[in-house]
């Protein structure tokens, strides 16, 4: 893969925004930040095209909430072909964290994530997706 150089013109506020990204993400330079932003944009476009993606659903919940684990497991069984693994961690006496590794069409993973996060007793949840290839 060869590198190509090109010039970019940006308004002051956009250049400041780019420099903030460079600093916050600790990129070595602006070029690396631009490469990252382009790649991130392309991955997000793939989500919209409903292609195969990999990702993780992270949920934090109160394990004392009645029937929550049973309902979560039932939903996960409905998507068994998309779930690669589940890691369960006890955060403290009341709270648990689950990380569910997933793979499949982005729309199906969003549906799975939405169903889990909507369960009563889920304190926080998030789906993170990335391109498979």
Q: Provide the residue ranges of all domains of the chain, joining segments of one domain with +.
A: 12-48, 52-131
The confidence score (pLDDT) of residue 47 equals 73
At a CB cut-off of 8 Å and minimum separation 6, what does 9 contact?
none
The confidence score (pLDDT) of residue 133 equals 64
The confidence score (pLDDT) of residue 132 equals 74
The confidence score (pLDDT) of residue 75 equals 97
The confidence score (pLDDT) of residue 27 equals 92
Contact yes or no for 104/67 (Cβ under 8 A): no
The confidence score (pLDDT) of residue 112 equals 98
The confidence score (pLDDT) of residue 16 equals 93
Low-confidence stretches of the chain (pLDDT beneath 70): 133
Please count the CA atoms within 13 angstroms of the CA of 84 that sit on its side-chain side: 11
User: How far is 91 from 93, CA to CA, in rounded Å?
Assistant: 7
User: How far is 124 from 12, CA to CA, in rounded Å?
Assistant: 37
> Spelled out in words, what is the top-level CATH class assigned to the domain 52-131?
alpha beta
Altogether, the residues listed in the chain come to a count of 133
The confidence score (pLDDT) of residue 1 equals 72
Contact yes or no for 47/129 (Cβ under 8 A): yes
Walk across the sheet containing 83-90 and list its strands.
83-90, 95-105, 52-62, 122-131
Does the predicted TM-score (pTM) go above 0.85? no
């Amino acid at each position: 893969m060869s590198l190509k150089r090109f010039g970019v013109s940006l308004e002051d506020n956009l250049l400041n925004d780019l420099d903030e990204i460079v600093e916050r993400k600790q990129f070595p330079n602006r070029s690396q930040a631009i490469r990252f932003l382009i790649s991130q944009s392309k991955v997000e476009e793939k989500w919209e095209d409903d292609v195969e993606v990999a990702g993780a659903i992270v949920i934090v919940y109160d394990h004392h909430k009645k029937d929550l684990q049973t309902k979560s497991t039932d939903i996960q069984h409905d998507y068994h072909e998309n779930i690669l693994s589940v890691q369960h961690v006890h955060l403290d006496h009341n709270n648990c964290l689950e990380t569910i590794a997933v793979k499949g069409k982005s729309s199906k993973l969003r549906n799975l994530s939405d169903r889990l996060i909507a369960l009563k007793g889920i304190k926080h949840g998030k789906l993170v997706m990335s391109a498979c290839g």
